[in-house]
Amino acid sequence: MMRKLSLLLVLAATPAAAASGPFLSLHNTDFIVTLAFLVFIGILVYFKVPGAIGGLLDKRAATIKAELEEARALREEAQTILASYERKQKEMIAQSEMIVASARKEAMAAAEKAKDDLKVSIQRRLKAAEEQIASAEKSAVKEVRDRAVVVAVAAAAEVIAKSMQQADQAALIDAAIGEVETRLH
């Protein structure tokens, strides 16, 4: 109730009610202001300013609507591109995982092959070393035999030389050398 009363008092306290003298007089400033305002509104209507303003507002609204449609289309295009890139990223991740798995398999196979090759190489070297050892052993045994034969022949020659005559010595040495040659070969 109090609001209604305050609203009624505000409406009653207009400038027209506060002016002194008759309202339709050129001495009343409120009348002049009201008249100027009405002339101004008339000029605006005569020059079709409200229609022009409405047209400009409609044009602006159409421009804004077109920009919104364009923005919506760009947003949809951006979402499509984003989805495409996300799909490509997933494909690339899957492909890279496949490449890594393949590389691991190849590395494992290469490691196994290297192990096998190393085993074969070690066996070959062991066999070669055993053959070299056997050859060196045979060579050493032959050298010891040859040396023993030479020493035995020299010793026999010395013993025979002391106990025999010159002619007998030569015959015995020749016979011993012949016998050693037949045994060595």
Encode pLDDT of 163-175 as tens digits: 766 667 677 777 8
pLDDT mean over 93-120: 93
Cβ-based neighbour number of residue 169 at 10 Å = 15
Compute the average pLDDT of residues 56-70. 96
- CB contact set of 46 (below 8 Å; sequence gap of 6+): none
Check: CB of residue 25 under 8 Å from CB of residue 31: yes
